[in-house]
Amino acid sequence: TGEKNFLLDFSGMDYISSAGLRVLLMVAKKSKTAKGKVLLSALTDNVKEVFDIAGFTDIFTIFATAEEALKDF
């Protein structure tokens, strides 16, 4: 079984590779299958731009801070 809810804090992260994006999609798919959530927080401008271009802002729920995201669980 395992965990189904995840909070990923991107504070201090200035770059995400295509491999990183694939891992996020895999986690999101498995979490959704388990009726869980993957929440993201504190995206830096560079990472947010990549997410916008890749369409990930439509896939993931993004919060300004981890504290705000935790309230959504």
CA atoms within 13 A on the CB side of 54: 19
Interval 1-40: pLDDT, tens: 688 999 999 999 999 999 999 999 999 999 999 999 999 9
Query: What is the sign of the dihedral through the CA atoms of 41, 16, 11 and 5?
Result: positive
For the beta sheet containing 6-9, the strands, ordered from the edge strand earlier in sequence to the opposite edge, are 6-9, 38-41, 61-63
Interval 29-69: pLDDT, tens: 999 999 999 999 999 999 999 999 999 999 999 999 999 99
Model pTM? Answer: 0.88
Q: Which helix (H) or strand (E) holds 9?
A: strand 6-9
Q: What domains can be seen in the chain, in order of their start residue?
A: 6-70 (3.30.750.24)
